[in-house]
Structure formats: C-alpha cells, structure tokens
Structure 1
Amino acid sequence: MQLMKRMSLTFRLTMLFACASTAVLLALGLLVGRLVERHFEELDMEVLKGKMELARDALRIARSPADLDMFSQHLDDALTGHAPISLAIRRADGRHVVAVGHAEFPDAMLRPATANSMAGAVWTNSEGKTFRGISGLAQVQIKDWSPAVIGVAIDMSPHEHFMASFQRAFWSVVVLAAIINGLLGWGAVRRELAPVRTIRQRASEITASHLDQRLDVESVPPELVELVQTLNAMLGRLEESFQRLSDFSSDLAHELRTPVSNMLTQTQVILSRVRSADEYREILYSNAEEFERLSRMMSDMLFLAKADHGLVSPFKEEVDIAAEVRDLFSFFEVVAEGRDIRLAITGEGNVTGDRALLRRAISNVVSNAIRHTRESGMVRASIKVPPEKNELVLCIENTGDPIPPEHIPRLFDRFYRADSSRQGSSEGAGLGLAIARSILALHRGTVNVHCADGLTCFEMHLPCRAPALRSLEAKLA
C-alpha cells in the first residue's frame, strides 16, 4: 500500500489501463480457445458417428465369416483420404475381428455392457498420442456373433498442434497488446493530466505578494472545475486573511507606537534638566496611565487570541440578560447624565452561558453606543425571544449619526474605527466590538449592526431554550 502511494498517478493509471486491457484480452482469448476446442469436438463427433454408421452397415450385410475378409478391404477404401481414424470390432465372446489403426482402445469401450456409455471418451495410447472415440453395439447376421461391439477413434494430434500454435500466437499477441496498451495509456494519461500540471504551475507562481491571481476555470475539463473553484475560493480566503493580518499588524504597531512615543517624549523632556518632586510625580502618573492603557490592550489581545484558538471555556449558568443590562445602565448612568442621554430597557429573557463574559460583551456594545450618541439622545435596550426561534435577541439602539455602509463589514475587526478622527485617542484601542463578537461566538451566538430612521442598532443573538420548556422544568422542580 505504501509503495502504491509513492507511485505517480500517471504510472498507476497506466498500469491500471494495461492490466484492464490485458485481462479483457485474456478473457476473450480463453473464450475463443474454448469455442475452437468445442468446434473441433463437434467435428470429430460428426466424423466418428459417420464412420460408426458405415461400419454398422458393412456388418449388417455380412452373412458369413468369409464376408468379413472383404469388410477389411472395404473399410480401408472407405477410410482412405480421411483423418487418421482407428476402428476395432470385437465379438461378443471378446475376440477381435477387425483392428485398424493405433488407437489401442480401452477395454471398457469394447465391452457390450459399457459400449454405449463411452461416447466421446478421450485417452492416450502407448506412443503418447491422444484419441477421441465412441463405441456402440451392432447386429451381425453371423451365428453366435451378435451383438458385436464397434469402436471408432480419431487421432487428435492435428488439433493439438493447431491449439498449441494458437496459444503461442495468442500469448504473443497478449504480451504485445499489453505493451502497446501501456504505451497508449501512458500517452493518454499524460495528455489528460496536462490541465493538472497547468494548475500546479499556476499555483507555484502564486506567492504571498500575488494572492490576487486566480486559476482559469475555462481551461480545465468539467471534472476539475470544482477543484479549481475550490482552489480559487481558498486563494480568496487567503488573500482576505493576509490583508487582514497586514492591516492588523499595521494597526497594532500604530496603537503601540502612540503610548510608547508619548512616554518616551515625556521621559526625555523630564530628564532634560533637574525637576522638582511634584514634576517627577506628575510625569510618573502620566506614564502610569499609558502603562494601564497598554496593559488593557495586551489583556484584550490575549483574550482574543485564546478565543480564536478555542482556549476560552465559558461557564454554564443561567443568566438574566435584563438584570445584567440594568446593572450596566446603572454603571454608565453618571456618564449618560453628563451628556443628557436617556437609558431605557424593555423585555425579559434568560440564556445559559458565562455571566462575566456576557456582561463584558454587553458592556462593550453599550459603552460604544453611549460614546457615539449625540447629547440629549437615547440608548435603548430591547430584549425579545421570538416564539418560532430558540434564541434571545438583545438590540442596543442609539440615536446618532448613521454608520457609513462601507464601514459596517469591518466594524467588528480589531483596531478598526469608523471615525478616523478617533485614531490614537484614549477612548479605546478599537477592540471592544471584536471582543464582543468573540464572546458571542463562544456562546454560539452572533452580532450584527444596521442603521435605519436615525437609529443604529446592534443586535446580539444568543441561543436559549424555548419558554414552554423552561415553564415545564419549573413545574417539575
């Protein structure tokens, strides 16, 4: 098996084609050989039956032993010019009357009791020649002779020579045909696999800097269309992933450079001359804030990396989503009142999940909504549990400027901000929505955003049990 795996596809298909064609030729040759042998057997039996009737007619007209002397001469004349035929006639008492040829009939063929059952018998004489013969009873008008046994045999040597020549020619043709079929199969396989080699060559030209190239679907046979389409789809995903990785690396470098540059500049300025203790204390407080920002960013990045690789295992507990939203609104109430933003919540619903992680995801979305709501605006949370779906839908709506459509597909990417003026601000690193999406994915949920009628709505979908099932469980408890 391992040897077959190491062999090339061209070699394996060539061998398969050659073996299949050889097997067909062998089966055909065996069939033809069997038919030829049966044809010879039918011809022999026809000749033997004719000679048997001839011998019976000759014995039927014999009236005395003297007539038998003329029978031998008559028999020699009848067999002249025919295939080598042997004939024997034995009386009922076991004595031979006539014996022509070298067949050396088996004793059982010339016994009256078994004569008629030996039709088509084949045997070999002392000289190594093979004979086929028949035997039968014949009525004789001579007294004390009836019944006589007649045995007729034909030498099969000509047939054997023919079959030997046929087999030599047949095997020669089979070997030659196997070689020719192998060469033709190799050429056909090489020709039909040319599109695969073209795909390999085109694929080898695609590098990380040329992921925009695609394989030509029109130039391949129908059997390879799905393969090429799959490869093109894979290249598309790789191109998108490389682009996101490149953007992420650039954004990460930019986000880290800003606080590091701030701390380096401040430190260089403070060290340019002797400062007072208060000035040193002030710069240390400023650096501490930057370190806290870096620490939060590293913690968020570590969480996202673990979530992406399935290393975060959320707890399973009953979570009251409405209670969590109310607690978060109480926490953000001071900020909202400072900007005259009204907070409202409607609906109830429970899910099974990790309370701390779900609270963090909802907090990130609520914080983002409050930050982008105009003064004297409103942030409203509505909880719905559609009866036809076993899921809870939490919608966080806020009034404010709508998000441009071109930003919506990337809104949950890391370090991405729809408002470019906020780049480098201290409000966040652009990881909040990305973390929210990862937390919902851990709970087999989703999050999306849409804008309509002056409202921006973030919808979080979480799987939950049907209300009827929860009620039944409560009654049983």
Structure 2
Amino acid sequence: MTLTARLTVLYTLVSATVLLGLGALVAWSTSAHFVELDRDYLQDKAQLIQRTVDETPDPVELSAKLNDLLNSHHGLFIAISRGDELLFGSKTIIFPNDFDTSGAMNQPKDWVDGELQLRGISTEISKVAGSRDTASSTKPTRLKVALDTQHHAHFMQVLRDQLIVYVLAATLLSGFLGWWAARSGLAPLRIMKERALKVTAHKLDQRMPIEAVPVEMADLASSLNTMLERLELDFSKLTDFSSDIAHELRTPISNLLTQTQVSLSQGRDPDTYREILASNAEEFQRLARMVSDMLFLAKTDHGIQLPNRENVALEDEVVSLLDFYDAVAEEKQVRMQLVGSATVAGDRLMIRRAVSNLLSNALRHAHHGTDVELIIDSQHDGISLCVMNTGDQINASDLPRLFDRFYRVDKARSHTSPDGTGLGLAITKSIMLAHGGSALASSTSGSVRFCLKFPYRPAVL
C-alpha cells in the first residue's frame, strides 16, 4: 500500500472507532434516561395507589378509583395481590414469577409479554380494607405496577438506525477528508520526487525546494541537497581525474611510442639503442610510480589502517631526508635547515613518505640560492611540521586544490622535473587523514608554506 493509502485507512479506522464509540454512548445514555424516567413514573403511580388504598376503606369504591386510574393512563397495568390471591388487577398481562424480588422500587424489571414490552416495579403496601380473611391473610400485600414501553423501544430503534446511517456517512466523509489531507500533505514529496528524477550524470545541479516543504520535511530536503552537493563535487572530481589521468598517461606513452617507432625506422648502432632503452626505462619508471601512487590513493578512498603504529621522532626522519636530498639541494644551491623536535604516534614509513613529498616539492619549486626551512612545533591543538621555501606566490584560488590529484598550478602542465606525477600532495593528504591529521598550504609574497598537522595521541608503549 502507498503511504497515502495507509494514512487514509488509518485515519478512517480511527474516525470510525471514535464515531462508533460516540454513537454507542448516545444510545446508552438515551436508554438509561428512559429507564430513569419510567422508574420515576412508576414510583409516582405506586405512591398514588398507596394513598388511594389508605384513603378508601370501601373495596367497591377503591376498585372504581383504581379503574379510573387505569383508564386515564394508557399502557399502565396494576396488580394488588396477597400471596397467590389477586385482590385487584387485570389478567391481560402476566407478571414474572420472580417479579416480587427483582422488580424492586429502585430498579425496574423489563420483560416481554406477547407483543408488549413491559417495565415494572413491585412494592409492599398496607393491607387493603375489606379484603376477605383467607389462609393467605397473614402474607404481605404487594403492589405491582407495569408500564408499556413500546413507544420507547420504537424511539430507540429509530435512533439506532439514524446513528448507524450517520456513523457510516461520517466515516466515509472522514475517509475522503483523510485521503485529501494525506495527498495534500505528501505533495512536497512528489515535488521532491520530480526533482530527483531530473538528476542525471550530466545534470547534478538540481536541489530540493526547502522553502516550499513543511518543517517536518525540511531536514530531509536539506539532507538530500547535501547529498546532491557531495555527488556533484565527487562526480566533478572523478571527471577531472579521468581527464587528468588520460593526459598524464598520454605523455609517457607518446614518448615511448615515438622513440620506438623512430628506432625501428632504420638500423642503429648499439650505443643508440642503449640510449633509447635508457630513455624508455625512465618513462617506464615514471609510469610505474604513477600506477603505484594511484593504487595507494585508491586504497585510501576506502579508508586505510596504519600498518605499524609506533613512536616516531620527527626530527630524526627529517634529518635522514635532508641527507637524502642534499645532492639535489646542492645542485640548486638551496640551503636546508631544521628547527624544533617532537614525537608523534603513527606509521614511520608513511610519515617519512609524506615529509619526503613536501621536501621534494619545496626543492623543486624553490628559487636558486634561497633557503628551505623545516619547522617542528608543538601547539595546543597538536604537533605541526611545516616546510617553507622561497618561490613564486600561489594564487588564493589555487590553494584549496593543491592537494587534488594531478592538479597543477601551471595550467599548461609544463613539467619542471621529470620526477613529478601530480600525485605527491594528494598522497600526503591521504596519509595525514589516515593519522587523524590534516595537510594545509598557504602562500604569501615570495614564500610558500606546507604544513602537516598531527593530533596529540598517546605514546605507543
């Protein structure tokens, strides 16, 4: 069942239950009111008969007065008896055998006699004057008064029929109103559905109408918009990544293909073939590094666990890297300096790779004859390792994307070094995320700074 149908059925059932309960309450209250009225009427007639008996000692006169009373009150029946002897009354109706006890003054008794529906009471009265002295004279004299309630029964039947018709009609109307309310209330969902159907791989800019939906659905619309924004961003990154990887792979493959075709076009001496093979080997190494880096990044997309977690002295790792890059720095006449020390908890090889990426990037872009500074600092929010070099300023619009895959500030994609694959900073960021930290970049006039932020972690014992 659809949600609209479920809400309609639920609302209809609730309405029917309430209406049935209300109808039953009305019918019961009306019936109880009639019982109370009849009881008061019968008690009043019983008291009237008692006074008549007390005030009329003559049996003949008493019988005449009681007959006049019966004739003036249609549907009223009286019986005065002592034991099994009927002193006065009509034999047209039969009072129940247990009527003397069950039809008490305060609680009338109902029964059916032929086509009559009767309600009566029974009470003990004073001895009727002039009654015969028989064996039952010692027994008490009882008065039985009954009333025909056929008119009440007819009224109750009409009332019940009307209540049934009203409950059915009101239930149907409530069901229709419930359907209309559910359909109107869920209209924003249909609008959101139509918007969602318009979302395609080439049209991810659709958003849910937060202002046009009720407050209860605003959070859902906002969450869907956030999801669509993430999808649009991720799809854009994936598209750029596909374009970038095609471009990055095209260059070495084109070089390999060109050199191979040229070498095959005519015979060469062994030294020439060695040079071509050496050149091809460099391109193969570049392709191998690129594929390895891409595989590492693919793993980080699904979350990676630190292979080995240990205490890592950052200054020791930096000193080792400074020795490794000393030849490169000497070639560019760049001076490298280290300031500060700290210990972090993490994987030694991964941290070393992240720092190496920043240091090689700084040496590649540093101006000749300048300094590259590495600063280790303990701050209130964690430990930072920053690499600073003097070089061309990076535009503020480029800073947020420096850690994207294959992103280069140089739009022409000119390679200042054959070693770069465009994945080093992206790998650095992934390593820091695996350590619960972050990688940041900033640039001022003539200075570029890359920082690694490590959170405070308990030392590994």
Query: Equivalent residues in 2 for 1:121-160 (5 A)?
Result: 121-125=108-112, 127=114, 129-140=116-127, 142=129, 147-160=140-153
When residues 129 and 285 of structure 1 are mapped into structure 2, their CA distance, relative to the original with a 3 A threshold, is farther
Are residues 1:396 and 2:383 paired? no
Displacement of 1:370 in angstroms is 2.0
Deviates more, 1:31-40 or 1:218-227: 218-227
Query: Which residue identity lines up with residue 139 of structure 1 in the other structure?
Result: S
Do the aligned partners of residues 358 and 115 (structure 1) sit closer, same or farther apart at CA in structure 2, a change above 3 Å counting?
closer
Aligned residue for 1:266, secondary structure, equals: helix
Alignment of structure 1 residues 13-24 onto 2, 5 Å:
13-24=7-18
Matched, 1:198 2:185: no
* Paired AA for residue 94 in structure 2: E
State the one-letter code of the partner of 1:430.
G
Alignment of 1:90-169 (within 5 A): 90-91=81-82, 93-100=83-90, 104-110=94-100, 114=101, 119-125=106-112, 127=114, 129-140=116-127, 142=129, 147-169=140-162
Contact 2:39 2:108 in 1 (8 A): no
- The correspondence for 1:408, drawn from 399, 403, 409, is 399
Paired with 1:282 and 1:354, the residues of 2 have a C-alpha distance of 40
Aligned to 1:378: 371
- How far apart, CA to CA, are the structure 2 residues paired with 1:264 and 1:164? 102
Query: Which letter does structure 1 place at the counterpart of 2:163?
Result: F
> What CA RMSD, in Å, does the superposition of the two structures yield over aligned residues?
2.6
Residue 245 of structure 1 corresponds to which residue in structure 2?
Answer: 238
After TM superposition, the structure 1 = structure 2 runs for residues 61-72 of structure 1, keeping only pairs within 5 Å, are 61-63=55-57, 67-72=58-63
* Residues in 1 aligned to 2:292 and 2:279: alpha-carbon distance in whole angstroms: 20
Aligned partners of 2:121 and 2:220: how far apart in 1?
A: 69
Deviation track 1:338-383 (CA, whole Å, cap 9, x = no partner) reads 2222222222222222111111112112211222222222222222
Aligned equivalents of 1:223 and 1:83: distance in 2? 66
1:12 to 6, 17, 32: 6
User: What is the alpha-carbon distance in structure 1 between the residues aligned to residue 337 and residue 16 of structure 2?
Assistant: 83
Rate the CA distance shift 1:394–1:155 in 2: closer, same or farther, 3 A. Answer: farther
- Give the 5 Å matches for 1:180-199: 180-199=173-192
Question: Do the aligned residues in 2 keep the contact of 1:119 with 1:133 (CA within 8 Å)?
Answer: no
Q: 8 Å contact 1:115–1:149 — kept in the other structure? A: no
Q: CA deviation at 1:407?
A: 0.4
Equivalent residues of 1:379, 1:398 under 8 A apart: yes
Residue 3 (structure 1) aligns with: none
Match for 2:121: what amino acid? I
Shift in alpha-carbon separation, 1:44–1:141, aligned structure 2, 3 A: closer
CA distance in 2, matches of 1:115, 1:54: 22
Q: Distance in 2 between matches of 1:392 and 1:298?
A: 32
Which whole-Å CA distance do the structure 1 matches of 2:93 and 2:301 have between them? 93
Tell me if the contact between 1:411 and 1:433 (Cα under 8 Å) persists in the aligned partners: yes
Q: What residue number does 2:134 align with? A: none
Identity %: 43
Match of 2:250 in 1: 257
- Contact 2:256–2:283, Cα closer than 8 Å, also in 1: yes
Alignment partner, residue 451 of structure 2: 459
Cα offset, 1:408, TM superposition? 0.7
**Partners of 2:103 and 2:116 in 1: how far apart?**
24
**Partner amino acid, structure 1, of 2:164:** W
Secondary structure of the structure 2 residue equivalent to 1:465:
coil
Query: Which of 40, 50, 72 is matched with 2:44 structurally?
Result: 50
Comparing 201-210 with 411-420, greater Cα deviation is found at 201-210
Where does residue 4 of structure 1 map in the other structure?
none
TM-score for both structures, normalised by structure 2: 0.90
- Distance in 2 of aligned mates of 1:261 and 1:102: 123
Cα displacement string for residues 98-153 of structure 1 (whole angstroms, at most 9, x for unaligned residues): 2347553344443xxx5895631434245375433222222236485785222222
AA of the residue aligned to 1:39: H
Give the distance between the partners of 2:73 and 2:129, measured in 1 at CA. Answer: 30
Cα separation, 2, equivalents of 1:213 and 1:407? 27
Give the Cα separation in 2 of the matches to 1:116 and 1:218. 71
* Alpha-carbon distance change, 273 to 115 in structure 1, aligned in 2, over 3 angstroms: closer
Aligned residues: 454
**In 2, Cα distance between the equivalents of 1:55 and 1:231?**
85
**In structure 1, how many angstroms separate the alpha carbons of the residues matched to 2:282 and 2:114?**
117
Pairing 1:178-327 to 2, within 5 Å after superposition: 178-327=171-320
**1:208-233, CA deviations, whole angstroms, 9 ceiling, x for partnerless residues?**
21222334444434443333333333
Is the contact between residue 93 and residue 113 of structure 2 (CA under 8 Å) also seen in structure 1?
no
**CA distance in structure 2 between the partners assigned to 1:426 and 1:370 by the alignment:** 14
Distance 1:115 1:52 in 2: 16
Q: What one-letter code is carried by the residue in structure 2 that aligns with 1:135?
A: S
Gaps of 5+ in 2: 131-136
The aligned runs of 1:347-366 (5 Å cut-off) are 347-366=340-359
